[in-house]
Amino acid sequence: MNKLYLWGIIIAGAMLGATAYVLKYLKNGLSGDIVNILAIAGAAALVVITVFVVIKYVHQMQVEQATGELADESWDDIGEYKNPVPFGWAIIFLGTMIWGMWYFTIGYPVNAFSQIGQYNEEVTTLNKQFDKKYANIKGDELVNMGESVYLVECVACHGLNADGNGEIDAADLNQRISEKSVKYAINHGLTGKLLGSEATMPDRTGLMNANNNYAPITDIEIDAVAKYVAGGLKDKNSAGAKVFAGTCTMCHGPDGKGVVGMAPDIATWNTKLLVNVLSYGKVAAIGTMPVMDRLNAKQKEAVAAYVMSLSKGE
């Protein structure tokens, strides 16, 4: 027997023997699990096929010479033979397709047991139970639930004090909006679903100045209105109030509460606004707020109640 083939048999046998040895001493072995059985069978097939394919081509390199018709094209005087697809490759390709169809229909059909499917079913069932149990909670109970959810889902970015670590990692939730956020919104514009549907705020080039004409809003005006809005729109005699009246009231309203279908409330938090942020995410001065799709509707409402309680000093 050719030494090359002998070594191939020895290597393949050694690898298969090692696999059998490991399986023998596993606590549960294959446990009759079709997935484990198929995985081991596939591994064994790969070992045998790989070893003998390598042997075949090593043997070809040792004893055979290239033959056949050269293609017309060449690269740096290096030609290429017009070789047909190797028969073995064609058989393996066809066999893989047949095996794939068998696997998805008989071997391990798509409607068979799935850990992911079981998890999703359990989550759906538990969410229904949760909704039924907590459908009517409100007041302090809702705030307490929101605090619990906040400590699990939100604290990593917004911090224990809900200040976003000084607005380094996330927005400060103790106030409705900061000067930094107002300036970013004016300078860059915003897109998102704070109203529940797609809404766009233009950047500074699309905003009127304080004199109610279409001259671009100035840096001084931006600083003034940012200070006014971040201060809760309280100083009605300030320069920022004048800029707000001439530039922002058309969409945000004279009190900053927002015009329906036009712009969000920038004076105070409200449940709908916060739920929309959790549901759709938000891009602003700090960065991107991710979509919190792990939370169900009641949990989002609870988080909103907790955040609103912060600005009340509770």
- Secondary structure element (H or E) that encloses residue 191, with its range: strand 190-192
Q: What is the pTM of this model?
A: 0.62
Which residues are registered as beta bridge partners of 75? 78
Token couple for 267: 């004076």
Which residues are registered as beta bridge partners of 190? 201
Q: Kindly tell me the sign of the dihedral angle through the C-alpha atoms of 94, 95, 98, 99.
A: negative
β 190-192/199-201 pair status: antiparallel
Domain parsing of the chain, residue ranges: 3-115, 138-310
Q: pLDDT tens, position by position, for the chain (314 residues)?
A: 577 778 788 888 888 888 787 777 665 556 666 777 778 888 888 888 888 888 888 887 777 776 778 888 888 888 888 877 888 889 999 999 998 888 888 877 666 777 888 898 998 899 899 989 999 999 999 999 999 999 999 999 999 999 998 888 899 999 999 999 999 999 999 888 999 888 889 898 877 666 656 668 889 999 999 999 999 999 999 999 999 998 899 899 999 999 988 999 999 999 999 999 999 999 888 889 999 988 999 999 999 999 999 976 44
Report how far residue 256's alpha carbon sits from residue 233's, in angstroms, rounded to the nearest whole number.
7
Do 253 and 149 meet the contact criterion of CB atoms below 8 Å apart?
no
Q: What is the pLDDT of residues 135-149, one digit of tens each?
A: 999 999 999 999 999
Do 264 and 273 meet the contact criterion of CB atoms below 8 Å apart?
yes
Report how far residue 236's alpha carbon sits from residue 228's, in angstroms, rounded to the nearest whole number.
9
Report how far residue 112's alpha carbon sits from residue 125's, in angstroms, rounded to the nearest whole number.
20
Do 295 and 281 meet the contact criterion of CB atoms below 8 Å apart?
no
Token couple for 134: 């907590």
